[in-house]
Amino acid sequence: MITAKALVLAVTILSAALAIGLGTIGPGLGQGIAISRAVEGIARQPEAADNIRMTMLIGIAIIESLTIYAFVIALVLIFANPLLGRV
Amino acid sequence: MEELGPVVVAELYGWRITTTVVMSTLLTGFLTFVSFLSTRHLQDIPGRLQNTLETVVELLEGLVEDNMGEKGKDYFPFIGTLFLYILLSNWMGAIPGLRSPTSDINVTVALAVIVLLASHVYGLSKKGLAHFKHYLEPMPIFLPLNLMEEVTKPLSLAFRLFGNVTGEHIVVAVLGLIVPLLVPVPMSLFGLFTGLIQALVFTMLAMVYITQATEEE
């Protein structure tokens, strides 16, 4: 017999894992594209390397925040589950 | 695994003193103390401490000027303080026994709200009531979107910083649980790097928001 609480817990864990797993796909692809373009740019114009590297790092950090949102959702689900109090 | 989030260590007249408050006070005290020590006797030929601080200030000044131009000098004290506080509090977590104040979401939300308020105050003091005109641009129909941006800007700033710092700590803690010896060290070093980048991103975005609020058409 599965209790309601056990069901909520199971779904919570699964959704936390899914949030991280799915949430990393898009930003991963995006960062890959950004880095490849930056490397192309540096190879073409090595004298602009510092500038490009800086812009790339900032851009990557901003893309990364998308994953971080998913991560925060997962953290909330695991450590501060708002749904457990309802059952 | 150490507890996630702030821990209440004392209660003072109904105020709960958490580890975040202690660490944050420690950091502020440290920054104030070092600044006081190094500027007490300013010399033409700087000593070791004064030289270090001068290098840091010059680097930050260069960063602000690169992004905001000559008029960025007015905002340098604010931006510089923000950067130093975030950078050192990110790095604090690497020292055993200390915790990063920025791994508490209350701190990062507070910092983001400070940035939001500062951009409005600077905009108002620069342009007067015309500052609020940017809500109606490019067309009045964009008003709801522009108002929504006021919420999403600080939210994304706060979550980005909090998530990065906390995520780094969790990764190091989990690695330490599995292999306590040497293996977490490279991850910890990587944490120093991301701490720097995140401090840079936070101040960079703060500069962008302030520039947006103060620029003249």
Amino acid identity of residue B181, one-letter, is: L
Q: How far apart are CA B155 and CA B130, in angstroms?
A: 25
Q: Which residues of B touch A50 (CB under 8 A)?
A: none
- Residue B178 is encoded by which pair of tokens? 């599995």
Look at residues B203, B200, B194 and name the one whose alpha carbon lies nearest to residue B91.
B194
Q: What whole-number distance in Å separates Cα of residue B139 and Cα of residue B146?
A: 10
Q: Where are the domains of chain B?
A: 8-214
Put simply, whether A47 touches B (Cβ < 8 Å) is: no
B197 → closest Cβ in A61, A68, A79 = A61
A79 near B CB under 8 A: yes
Give the gap in angstroms from C-alpha A75 to the nearest C-alpha of chain B: 9
Helix axes B143-178, B105-127, angle to 10 degrees: 150
Question: Max Cα separation, chain B?
Answer: 60
Instruction: Give the separation between CA B62 and CA B3, rounded to whole angstroms.
Output: 39
Chain B nearest C-alpha distance from A21 (Å): 15
Q: Could you give the ipTM of this predicted complex?
A: 0.73
* Residue B11 DSSP SS3: strand
Nearest CA distance, A58 vs chain B (angstrom): 6
Average pLDDT over residues A77-86: 81
Query: How close is the nearest chain B Cα to the Cα of A17, in Å?
Result: 14
Going residue by residue through chain B, which has 217 residues, state the pLDDT in tens, using 9 for 90 and above.
445 667 777 778 878 888 888 899 999 999 999 988 888 877 778 788 888 888 999 999 988 888 888 888 888 999 999 999 999 999 988 888 888 888 888 899 999 999 999 999 998 988 888 888 888 877 888 888 888 888 888 988 898 899 888 888 888 888 888 888 888 888 888 889 889 988 988 998 899 888 888 886 5
- Cβ contact B4:A79 at 8 Å: yes
Residue A1: pLDDT band with limits 50, 70, 90: confident
Query: What pTM was computed for the model?
Result: 0.84
Chain B residues whose beta carbon lies within 8 Å of the beta carbon of residue A65: 156, 159-160, 163
Chain B residues whose C-beta sits inside 8 Å of any chain A C-beta: 4-5, 156, 159-160, 162-164, 166-167, 197-198, 200-201, 204
Nearest-10 Cα torsion for A75, A79, A84, A85:
-120
Tell if the CB–CB gap between B5 and A79 is shorter than 8 Å: yes
- Closest to B28 measured CA to CA, from B107, B89, B80, B72: B89
Rounded alpha-carbon distances, angstroms, from residue B142 to B33, B147, B148, B150: 48, 9, 10, 13
